[in-house]
Amino acid sequence: MTALVGGDVIANGVRLHSERSGGAKPPLVLAHGLSDDGRCWTPIVDALAGSFDIVTVDARGHGLSAAPEDGYRLGTLAEDLACVIRELGLERPVILGHSLGAVTAMALAGRYPDLPAAIVLEDPPPLWRHEGPMPDDAALSRSIAAGIVSLKRLSRDELRRQVVAQNPAWPEAEIGPWVEAKLAFSLRAVPLATPEHLASFDIRSVLGAITCPVTVLHGDALRGSMATVADLEILRTLVPQLVTVHVPGAGHSIRRDQPERYLDAVREAIRAS
């Protein structure tokens, strides 16, 4: 396992935890999904730390970061991540984000176009599908929020049994970090999965300002991938430089379902950026 150096950064007045592999290598920032945290990137860190100075960041309400009473909005998460990048002195990092971390990377790249060298997005939820709020996704988002709340009622052993039963093909290295992330997750961050959050930030308003290369990795809709081919075609009209990569046999957690294909796609996206 790659040794990381942990530390805290104050971003927007909130203490955020980050860990870094270090070295005179290109910086790569990893932004996790809702209810995950930096530990959930452990297999990816192990695979890529030889080539990159990797930084994992626990979003507010996640992992070892503070859980303030408010600030659980996409725009605020983008500002938080930008603050961490600046405080750590990272110059033009590639940002690799999953799910909520992916749309956070998109918001950051639109608001601060000179900050990232490229963004690579693992199955971002298609918040760009409609202009303004997404009323037809309200039921889905409420279901996701309720599912996260239900996980907080489970013990460590119960969480482990559930994730193994639902994802029997996941590597063992993914199971422990997933469980620990769910135990550490603060219920204060649940609003990030609600319709009110979806309506709080018009991501279309910033997509046209993204100038860096953008790659989206997506899986199979039947396995739970959120971004459909139709969604990605809409995104391409808003971000013309978009490159999409289909990873067959994967659902929403592409790196857990198809780790080798995922790593190949990430390396290629970074090489091409």
* Mean pLDDT across the chain: 93
Q: pTM here? A: 0.95
Residue 186, pLDDT > 50, answer yes
Sheet holding 14-20, edge to edge: 5-11, 14-20, 53-57, 27-31, 94-98, 118-122, 214-218, 242-246
Q: Which of 130-134, 183-187, 239-243, 264-268 has the lowest mean pLDDT?
A: 130-134
Residue 185, pLDDT > 90, answer yes
Residue among 53, 46, 40, 48 nearest 93 (CA): 53
